[in-house]
Structure 1
């Protein structure tokens, strides 16, 4: 099995559980979150925005001024289920922000230009 196939499979497994109202197994949820964060960071290189999905991961991405110390001025934070939904296009970015499911701060914290992510 190729690495992209494994990555797609774990995300598909997590989404299938969520789509049927179930909570994915913790290890599946964790891996799906990390896969999608890694894809975001690879496709949107930079260090001006920190995307946090506690307790599973955080990445820095988006071109612009580099953040080096303390709390970044541009942050995005959400729960794992919301991250999976916006990253896969099942939930619109603007809707998630409006509903308070995504907490953003800073002028560069709008990820709508980069989401949803396409799995390879």
Structure 2
């Protein structure tokens, strides 16, 4: 069984990049800070919405499977949500919504179950 994410570690990872997540004009975090924030928030969401129906991708840092339902095992999954690290972190912190980012074209969501990812957002609200 995979190690569960630590809420304090996830919060610290998000706080380390929070200024940049709120304001793209501020100093960009290091690659390792971005990776940590993306990985911990995505893995926390996967724990909150367990399953294998939807694949959440935040390249180049993390891909997780979530949402209960039919298990996907080969090739490209039928339900995929993919976005860049900053957009993901804005979603994970509640600074934007999945519907708004899909409409803006910053999130690629395919498949009938992709919108179910929104049920678990925000992961760590920044407020």
The aligned counterpart of 2:99 is 94
Structure 1's consecutive aligned runs of 4 or more residues displaced over 4 angstroms after TM superposition are none
Distance of 1:67 and 1:24 partners within structure 2: 34
Normalised by the length of structure 2, the TM-score is: 0.86
Instruction: Pick closer, same or farther for the CA change 1:7–1:118 going to 2, 3 Å.
Output: closer
What do the CA deviations read for 1:7-58 (whole angstroms, capped 9, x no partner)? 2111111112332422111110000000001101100000000000000010
2:109 paired with 1:104: yes
Distance of 1:48 and 1:102 partners within structure 2: 18
Structure 2: which 5+ residue stretches go unaligned? Answer: 1-5
2:87 paired with 1:82: yes
Aligned length: 117
Contact kept in structure 1, 2:79 and 2:113, CA below 8 Å: yes
Contact kept in structure 1, 2:53 and 2:70, CA below 8 Å: yes
Please provide the CA RMSD for this pair: 1.3
Deviation at 1:113, TM superposition (A): 1.6
The aligned counterpart of 2:11 is 8
Contact kept in structure 2, 1:87 and 1:115, CA below 8 Å: yes
Distance of 1:18 and 1:52 partners within structure 2: 18
Distance of 2:104 and 2:37 partners within structure 1: 23
The equivalences for 1:25-104 within 5 A come to 25-104=30-109
Distance of 1:104 and 1:114 partners within structure 2: 15
Structure 1: which 5+ residue stretches go unaligned? Answer: none
